[in-house]
Structure 1
Amino acid sequence: MAKRILGEDRVHDHLIERGIKLRHLRDGYENYGENRDDGDSRQTLIFMADGKWMHGGLTDRLRGMTSAYKFAKEHNFDFKIYHTSPFELQEILQPNNVNWVIGEKEISRNCEVAKPVLLYREDFNNDSALERQLDSSHKQFHLYSCVDTVGEEFSKYFNELFKPSPILEQELSHYGELLGENYTSISFRFQNKLGDFKEFTFKELPEKGKRKLMIAAMNVLKKEFADGEKFLVTADSPTFLAEVEKLPNVVTVKGKSIHIDFNSSKNATDYMKAFTEFFLISKASKAKLYRNRKYKTYPSNFPKYAALLGHVPFEIVEE
């Protein structure tokens, strides 16, 4: 199938690239020739976010973790999450029904015991692609992945794994009081088009383009308003949020707008804004994403998966 869709040359290049990157992930693994566990303990699938790979944004990581957990559950593996880059996940999300926390000392670097494995978005059947990389001789599989195999079941697996930490609960309680029980969320994802959210190599628009995009986004937001209805507005642009906050009945989450994969801060609270927004969207009456075709604003999955978490109706407002 892959050859029919991509062509044989591209599949060959893809497999070569995978091999090169897997060799990079194997850096630091050695054959110790000892401490091999030949007992009857179950094999463990460990979702890795340790900085050795581009792990993706918050949504990429959450769907990668839930999909890995689903695979582990269906294949009778123990499941753990080792998320230390750029912060320890359990500072914001804690185990709910599954104890997924694993410490550095429990991560084996013995290549006879542990094996790094990698999934790409290009893997057409991701469960099969992962199965092909597993074997019966290793006890740990260190998975680098952000693929989605849970789909509409995202909420089920997320809630088995996670619950908010006390500090996140405090944030949710605070904004819950401001929003009340009936509110609409609308999300905007500009990347660096407005010149105030540095992310990878994305370029900002010329000043004229910035003004036109800002006006278009604000006009759409104003059209969405209903009398007395509260709105949660999320965006990656501090400039846009500063304008939005001037509008009545609008609530925004305070904090830094940063991309989890392009920031070196190890302070978990620096990433609290995104997690707070994610949970608040999941509690909304309806969730929306703004898309501008002319300026090609990013088709973010962030509000979509937050809506899936809370079984909230989701739509794209496009112009």
Structure 2
Amino acid sequence: MSILKSIKKKAGKKAKQLKLLRFHAKQTSNKRFDKKRIIICFNGQIPHGGLVDRLKGIVSFYEVAKVLDYNFFIQFNNPFTLNTFLEPNTVQWKIKDEAVTYNSKTTKLVYVINDFNVNPLTLIKESKAETFLVYANIDYLSKMYPEVTGTVLENKWRTSFNELFKKSSLLESKLKSVEKDNYIAFHTRFTTLMGDFQDTTALVLAKDEKDALIFQLQKKIQTLLQGSDNKCYGFSDSIQFLKTIKEKENIHLVEGNPFHMDNFDTNASLEGHLKTILDFFMLSESETVYFLKLGNMYHSSFSKYAAIVGNKPFKTITD
């Protein structure tokens, strides 16, 4: 990273921290608590990341709360209320906005968005604060448990996820209305490559490059179809790709358009966000999850974490 980029990154982080401090300072309270508490916040004040980024932050700091025996809460009211789709399971994490209070002497603002170097357990444990207002989007379990790898780490992540969440009746009914039979699933991530939408990336492929890439993907998908007797569902951030591949192969799709939770320029309806949640849990309930990444296509942890939640085989297919 160049010096200029490093300076800009630090300045951007400081600006977001100051914005959050000003926001929370409006909720000043001298109330004390019998037990220390960690509150992870998704309130629209800053970009928080997509669904999986948010889940990574939630599970990471819930794990910290478990280890330290702190109370754990999730403030998730933007761009929708989390318990519309995911309700508390064994942990009562719901908190009212007015209960997310700030005290300059006893509250610590923890801003670790895109900070891959910090160990949150050490950070929280060494602080004397009583309330931690957390903004995070990274899976820190490997930092917290460096001696644990692979399947064991995934099992730990899934256990924490299931302690926190159960599907709402709305989500359950929507999932059952889509598919009742067994199926396999593939996932692709293009960001701007197909020219569907604007993203943090800028590269858009020329038409002949798009056609060539789709042809290569079609060959991989044909192999998946030939190797399974089950239906096959396709998931992607490119609606153009999904429509094209469905015309060419016997692929099933979930209705709706992909939508990113941090797209502040668009006021998506609840149905738009439901599509993202449905995609995630459809992947988690498939027999096998395949992630296709060819050429200039981008990495994604969306389908990987869906497979972890569902305890399903996950396979990456490359060139």
Scaled by the length of structure 1, what TM-score is found?
A: 0.85
- Check the 8 A contact 2:291/2:316 in 1, yes or no: yes
| Counterpart in the other structure of 1:250 | 251
Per-residue deviation at 1:269? 2.3
115 and 267 in structure 1: CA distance in 2 versus 1, 3 angstrom threshold: farther
Q: 1:81 aligned to 2:82?
A: no
2:270 matched residue in structure 1: 268
For residues 158-200 of structure 1, what are the alpha-carbon distances to aligned partners after superposition, in whole Å with 9 as ceiling and x for unaligned? Answer: 11111111111111111232xx13x211101111211113323
Q: For residues 51 and 23 of structure 2, what CA distance do their matches in structure 1 show?
A: 27
* 1:120 shift after superposition: 4.3
Compared with structure 1, are the counterparts of its residues 317 and 172 closer, same or farther at alpha carbon in structure 2 (3 Å cutoff)?
same
Q: Distance in 2 between matches of 1:174 and 1:247?
A: 25
The residue that corresponds to 1:312 in the other structure is 312
**112-121 vs 97-106, greater mean Cα deviation:** 112-121
What does residue range 76-115 of structure 1 map to in structure 2 within 5 Å? 76-115=69-108
Q: Distance in 1 between matches of 2:191 and 2:58?
A: 24
Return the match for 2:16 from 12, 21, 24.
21
Pairing 1:170–2:173 present: yes
Q: What SS is found at the alignment partner of 2:271? A: helix
SS at match of 1:246: helix
Q: Residue 299 and residue 242 in structure 1: after superposition, are their counterparts in 2 closer, same or farther (change >3 A)?
A: same
Structure 1 residue 221 displacement after superposition: 1.1
SS of the residue aligned with 2:179? helix
Change (3 A) 1:266 1:139: farther
Q: How far, CA to CA, are the matches of 1:202 and 1:77 in structure 2?
A: 43
Matched-pair contact (CA < 8 Å) for 1:281–1:307: yes
Paired residues for 1:149-188 under 5 Å: 149-150=140-141, 151-152=153-154, 153-177=156-180, 180-181=181-182, 183-188=183-188
| CA displacement at 1:131 relative to structure 2 | 2.5
User: Are positions 1:30 and 2:25 aligned together?
Assistant: yes
- Change beyond 3 A, Cα 1:269–1:111: farther
- Name the residue aligned to 1:3: none
Alignment-derived partner of residue 232 in structure 2:
231
With over 3 angstroms needed to count, the CA separation of the structure-2 counterparts of 1:215 and 1:8, relative to structure 1, is closer
Report the secondary structure of 2:184's partner residue: strand
Query: Secondary structure at 2:25's aligned position in 1?
Result: coil
Q: Which 10-residue stretch deviates more, 248-257 or 119-128? A: 119-128
Structure 1 residues 132-172: Cα deviation after superposition (integer angstroms, max 9, x where no partner): 7x633x43211000111234122111111111111111111
Picking from 131, 155, 174, the partner of 1:140 is 131
Q: Which moved further from structure 2: 43-52 or 259-268?
A: 259-268
Answer with 163-172 or 101-110: which moved more: 101-110
Alignment counterpart, residue 283 of structure 1, candidates 282, 285, 299: 285
CA distance in 1, matches of 2:108, 2:133: 6
Report the TM-score when normalising by structure 2.
Answer: 0.85
CA gap 1:242/1:122 in 2 versus in 1, 3 angstroms: same
CA distance in 2, matches of 1:125, 1:114: 19
**Matched residue type, 1:46:** I
Give identity over the alignment, percent: 26
The answer to whether the 8 A contact 1:36-1:112 is kept is no
1:94 Cα shift? 0.9
Aligned length: 305
Contact 1:289 1:303 in 2 (8 A): yes
Matching residue's letter, 1:149: Y
> What secondary structure sits across from 1:143 in the alignment?
strand
Kept in 2, the 8 Å contact 1:92–1:268? The answer is no
3-state DSSP of counterpart to 1:28: helix
Compute the RMSD of aligned alpha carbons: 2.8
Match of 1:65 in 2: 58
Distance 1:122 1:232, change over 3 A: same
* Secondary structure at 2:23 match in 1: coil
Over 3 Å counting, the alpha-carbon distance change for 1:84 and 1:304 in structure 2 is: same
Give the residue type in structure 1 aligned to 2:47: M
